[in-house]
Structure 1
Amino acid sequence: MNSVVAALRFFFTHTIDRPELARRLVRTAHARKIPVVLTLAEVKRLLDATTCIKHQAALSVAYGAGLRVGEVSALKVCDIDSKRMLLRIERGKGGRYRNAMLPEGLLVLLRDWWRAGRQQGVLHADGWLFPGQNATLPISTRQLHRVVVQAAEVADITKRVGPHTLRHSFATHLLEDGVDIRVIQALLGHAKLGTTAFYTQVATKTMRAVVSPLDRLALAGPDKKAPSG
């Protein structure tokens, strides 16, 4: 619905030059659902359940660097900066550029994929990191979604998952490990801190670390009366 509102606002404001009509259009507010998050064990089972090193590497990038599925698809080989241990994201949300983290374990896996892809003749120094069936085009986001769903079925994961589930899990696991929320915001490429703060609702490890005032009652002894006189 909101996409229709945006299209009509553009039509009235720019196409027919009637901005007063656009002011009557109101966007509807949608309650944001709590994202599905995998445990560390479930993430490992999911990655191990992929059918080839290309798919394992692509999903590992989504989880290990916290990328959106479109960002994974758009990566090129030259976007890997192994000296600075960074991934250059040139087609992020809103067209913004940013750097994402490149863990050592992920770099090892990407190098394995590079060697395998070179042998298959599908990887080139100036080409896509994860080419599709046609090597001149990147793997599609729809294909990556199918890869995640199929791997989840093999791994016996009953949660409703997709590529973005790995990004949600990345952010939540960092938050549970005590990483500063503003650092997580930068890694995810969020424009607003409030978007990142939403993950506090699913960081169960963080919640369990909080001591309830009710539990403190059991630790508190009876109040001692002040001595008279």
Structure 2
Amino acid sequence: MDAQPLTDARALAARFDHHLRLERRSSPHTARAYVATAHRLLEFLGVHRGEVATPAALLTLPAVDLRAFLAQRRGEGLGPSAAAREMSAVRAFLKFAAEQQGAPPALPRVQAPKRPRTLPRPASPEDAVALAEETGALAHQPWIAARDTALLLLLYGSGLRISEALALAASAHPLGSTVRVTGKRGKTRVVPVLPMVATAVADYVAQCPWPLDKQEPLFRGARGGPLSADVVRRAVAAARRTLGLDDKLTPHALRHSFATHLLAGGADLRTLQELLGHASLSSTQIYTAVDAAHLLDVYRHAHPRA
């Protein structure tokens, strides 16, 4: 008898996995991470409350229990950014649990841990991808989730300005290993496309409910018109807050992260200038300063005499 409620809650977590992968079209990495968090939460509640967790109990989960769960995870070595993602997964699971039981979601108010204030720096590759996926996870419709994730991965993966990405015509699909974009002053350039980006864009196109005529914009708004950059910025801001990331991690900052990571990986300035579409090499040279600052920061933290 005692095992039955636990089985029900485990079954709910299993349906959560199906929901993330097939309905929300989350990436396999995100689905695995979110479902693992759901199981950790159920295990924690069983110990913390002295009774097995049931789906009904998830509807009235008090904030104090979530704070205790977060405290335990932090005690296990979870950093601020990872802890914020953990709470994002918990909220998504509790919302799903409520929907499955026909109840309105009543999520406890628990603030995600904030990162310590530091000087602005490029997003790590992990944070850039997490931001893209979390922006999609917060969307209200699966096709919009796929759209937002694909768009942000394109900004980071190819170093595009948001205006350049939103100006892409549907004729650009399917994306190959490169895509031609039009930048400032009508200057065109060819930029590389990562396989994961091409896959994400194809997933969005497959789900988009609006006809994508070749001369129309590739990325569409909720009502079928051109997608607004402000809509994207607001969605990114919400995901950024959920993950506890730096306020300066905007869609445009993904382009800067792309440039800095390429330079750190050995790309020369002339190549970077072409990829970014800078008219002058002096515009590209700012990334040498950013990269030097990052290296100095690493040195100061790693050297025992620093």
TM-score (norm 1): 0.68
Whole-Å separation in 2 of the counterparts to 1:45 and 1:210: 23
Question: Contact conserved, 1:88 with 1:99, CA < 8 A, in 2?
Answer: yes
Question: Contact conserved, 1:122 with 1:131, CA < 8 A, in 2?
Answer: no
Letter in 2 for 1:143: V
The alpha carbon displacement at 1:70 in A equals 0.7
Question: Contact conserved, 1:80 with 1:87, CA < 8 A, in 2?
Answer: no
Residue 197 of structure 1 corresponds to: 285
The alpha carbon displacement at 1:36 in A equals 4.5
1:144/1:36 CA distance change after superposition, 3 Å: farther
Residue 134 of structure 2 corresponds to: 49
Identity fraction in percent: 32
Superposition pairs of residues 141-220 of structure 1, within 5 angstroms: 141-203=229-291, 207=295
Which consecutive residues of structure 1, in runs of 5 or more, have no partner in the other structure?
1-33, 216-229
Equivalent of 1:99, from 190, 197, 210? 190
1:142/1:105 CA distance change after superposition, 3 Å: same
Residue 78 of structure 1 corresponds to: 171
Which consecutive residues of structure 2, in runs of 5 or more, have no partner in the other structure?
1-118, 137-144
Deviations, residues 60-95 of structure 1 (Å, cap 9, x unaligned) = 111111001111111112124645x222213x1112
Question: Contact conserved, 1:36 with 1:168, CA < 8 A, in 2?
Answer: no
Letter in 1 for 2:217: W
Whole-Å separation in 1 of the counterparts to 2:272 and 2:174: 20
Question: Contact conserved, 1:171 with 1:199, CA < 8 A, in 2?
Answer: yes
Residue 122 of structure 2 corresponds to: 37
Whole-Å separation in 2 of the counterparts to 1:56 and 1:73: 14
Q: Cα RMSD (Å) of the superposition?
A: 2.6
Residue 221 of structure 1 corresponds to: none
Deviations, residues 193-229 of structure 1 (Å, cap 9, x unaligned) = 1111101122258735999xxx9xxxxxxxxxxxxxx
Letter in 2 for 1:75: L
Higher helix share: 2
Residue 89 of structure 1 corresponds to: 181
Residue 66 of structure 1 corresponds to: 159
The alpha carbon displacement at 1:159 in A equals 3.5
1:93/1:81 CA distance change after superposition, 3 Å: farther
Letter in 2 for 1:72: A
1:210/1:47 CA distance change after superposition, 3 Å: closer
Letter in 2 for 1:177: G
TM-score (norm 2): 0.52
SS of residue paired to 2:147: helix
Structure exhibiting the larger radius of gyration computed from Cα positions: 1
Whole-Å separation in 2 of the counterparts to 1:79 and 1:169: 24
Residue 112 of structure 1 corresponds to: 203
Letter in 2 for 1:123: L
SS of residue paired to 1:49: helix
Whole-Å separation in 2 of the counterparts to 1:160 and 1:210: 20
1:167/1:143 CA distance change after superposition, 3 Å: same
1:139/1:210 CA distance change after superposition, 3 Å: closer
Superposition pairs of residues 120-159 of structure 1, within 5 angstroms: 120-135=209-224, 137-159=225-247
Whole-Å separation in 2 of the counterparts to 1:113 and 1:129: 10
Question: Contact conserved, 2:167 with 2:217, CA < 8 A, in 1?
Answer: yes
Whole-Å separation in 1 of the counterparts to 2:249 and 2:186: 26
Letter in 1 for 2:133: D
The alpha carbon displacement at 1:107 in A equals 0.8
Q: Which structure exhibits the higher relative contact order, with contacts defined as CA atoms closer than 8 Å and separated by 6 or more residues?
A: 1
